[in-house]
Every structure is written in C-alpha cells, then in structure tokens.
Amino acid sequence: MNIFNNFDLYSLIYWVPAIILALTMHEYAHARMAYAFGDPTAKDAGRLTLNPLAHLDPIGTLMLVFAHFGWAKPVPINPYYFQGDRGQKIMLVSVAGPLSNILQALVGSVLLSLLVHFTISGQSKLWQLLFSFLFSYININIVLAVFNLLPVPPLDGSKILASLLPERHMNIVFALERYGFIILIALMFLGVLSLIITPIVTVLFSGLLHLVGLGELARLFFG
C-alpha cells in the first residue's frame, strides 16, 4: 500500500483539523466515561480535557495524515475503581470512543447535507474548503470507529473482547498490548488493515450520505 496515495500539501489545510478534532473527541469520550464510573486515572493524567495536545500521539497522528490509519495516546484507566460489573464498565468505556466517532460522522453528514442543499455550491474557495473539511471529517471518523473496533490490542475492540471473557482470559488480552504497536504496523504494511477496513468504511460512508439525502454524492464517490 502506498501511504502517500492521494496526498497533497493543500489537503493538510482541512485534513489535519479534521483529524485533530476527531481524535480529541474520541479520547475525551473514553476519559469522560471512565470518570463517570468513578475512575479518576484519566483526569489525574490530564486527559479529561478537550485540549488536543493532551491526546495526540505523534506517530499515530502522522499515520492518519499519510496512511489514513492512526491513533491517539491511549487513555489510562484503572478498572479496579469500577463498582459492580467491571467487565461491563470496561466495555462501555471502550465503546465510548468509537461511538463518539460515529456520532461525529453523523453530525458531519448533516452539516454536509446543509452545505450542499442550502448554499450555492462550488462557486467559492470557502465553499470548496468547507466541503473538503466536512467530507474528510466524516471519512476520518468512520475510519477511526471501524479501526478502533478491531479486536487487536491495544485498540478498543480488544478491550471490548476482553470484557466479554472470564477474568483469567481478560488478563491475557491485556498482556498482549505491549506487542500491539508491532502487530498494527505489520498488519498495515501487509495490507490486511486496508483489506478489512476499506469495504466497511465505504458501506458506512455511502449509507450515511444516503441517510442525509446525499445519495447522488454517494454514487459519485462510491458507485
């Protein structure tokens, strides 16, 4: 996979802000949910904030810019603060990030629909920039949601999987996190991530555009 495919410097103007916003909201959602369940770990680490600098991982952010797959710094949690069903709360904290991305993609789709239907399209640089930003914002959020739901440590999907297992098996999944970065890089360069994620993202993106009345746009981009 060519990680520089379809990349140009002009796209940084809208692509980077879209990435920063999507990643920040994703990590904030994890931190907020954990804090709601009584875990102060993320707050004490300065992660219960909408300040992007607290959440961005340099390598993960660059991967998103160039490869369209990436990550932020994982939010630290301590499940031993959770009362009641610990596995269920781990799952809800893990789901919070991808769910925030799905909601952001939905909001972005509604805004894109309003832009297309209620403005004079394509006649100004500002309109084109707003269109590109919203289109990229939707795409990034869908990619982040799908990517993070993969059951590969340290992604959210692995924690969701662990929460469904007996505690002795849960710890095995968590122990694999130390190798997570190597696993993800290997899967990316082998093309496995693209093979899994691209079809799902295409279906979800197209479906969202149809949902907000942009079926013609969906057919133009996705056939």
Report the catalytic residues.
27
What's the rounded Cα separation, in Å, for the pair 51 and 150? 26
> What are the helix (H) ranges across the chain?
12-36, 41-44, 58-67, 86-118, 125-148, 156-163, 167-175, 180-189, 192-211, 215-222
At how many degrees (to 10) do helices 125-148 and 12-36 cross?
40
- What distance in Å separates the CA atoms of residue 194 and residue 97, rounded to the nearest whole number? 21
* Alpha-carbon distances, residue 154 vs 72, 185, 200, 215 (angstroms): 11, 12, 21, 36
